Amino acid sequence: MKHKVLENAVRDLKEKKNNSKDRYMKPLNVDLLERITQRLIEFSDNCDECTNFITDLTDLLNDIIYKQEPLDKKDFMRFQSKLKVITQHMEKEHNLLPDGHYISMYLPLGISFGLIFGLILFDNISMGLPLGVAFGLIIGSSMDADAKKKGKTI
Ligand SMILES: [Zn+2]
């Protein structure tokens, strides 16, 4: 019952976003919101916190949907921080990874190794940089794709 209300709110928000030119409406991450919604519904049978998040999130979305004036920065921040809190809960309690987790891990790693190898092999720190970026992206994105395939990402 609660699930349907949240799903409807997500749908209405998406529609409002598509028809809106509000400055703070455009950057709302609806894709992430949809993924989070599916996860909350999936976990709510066995997790009280997820059940509470469903209520919280529904209220927040309805505030945005029924607001007559354009969204302001405060609404936007409220939306962002709620998604963040829920994401953190999913990572901690349900062992999920945020999308792009491995890229954000391997890209900086690739860059630092690239710089070191550039210095050692070519005696030129900038030669290693593109290599490092390429390796970081290749490894990170393939691990992300793998985690996604196994259903481990939010
Ligand atoms: Zn939960």
Calculate how far, in angstroms, residue 58's C-alpha sits from the geometric centre of ligand 1. 16
Q: Which two tokens stand for residue 120?
A: 């050692």
What's the pLDDT score for residue 25?
92
85 C-alpha vs ligand 1 centroid, how far in Å? 11
Please, what's the largest Cα pairwise distance for the chain? Answer: 65
Token duo for residue 142? 């393939």
pLDDT in the model for residue 126? 83
Cα of 126 to ligand 1 centre, how many Å?
A: 45
Q: List the structure tokens of 141.
A: 């994105």
Which of 47-86 are b and which e, b meaning 16 or more Cβ less than 10 Å from the residue's Cβ?
bebbbebbeebbebbbebbeeeeebeeebbeebeebbeeb
Q: What is the CA(77)–ligand 1 centre distance, in A?
A: 22
Per-domain residue ranges of the chain: 2-93, 101-149
Q: How far apart are the C-alpha atoms of 34 and 154, rounded to whole Å?
A: 10
User: 82 alpha carbon to ligand 1 midpoint, in Å?
Assistant: 14
pLDDT of the chain, 154 residues: tens digit per residue = 678 999 999 999 999 999 998 899 989 999 999 999 999 999 999 999 999 999 999 999 999 999 999 999 999 999 999 999 999 999 999 999 988 999 999 999 999 999 999 999 888 878 889 999 999 999 999 999 999 999 999 9
| 69 CA → ligand 1 middle, Å | 33
- Span from the CA of 151 to the centroid of ligand 1 (angstroms): 16
Closest-CA residue to 52 (of 95, 93, 97)? 93
Residue 130 Cα to ligand 1 midpoint, Å, equals 40
What was the pLDDT predicted at 59?
97
pLDDT number for residue 3 = 87
Cα 52 to ligand 1 centre (Å): 9
Which pLDDT value is given to residue 1?
A: 64
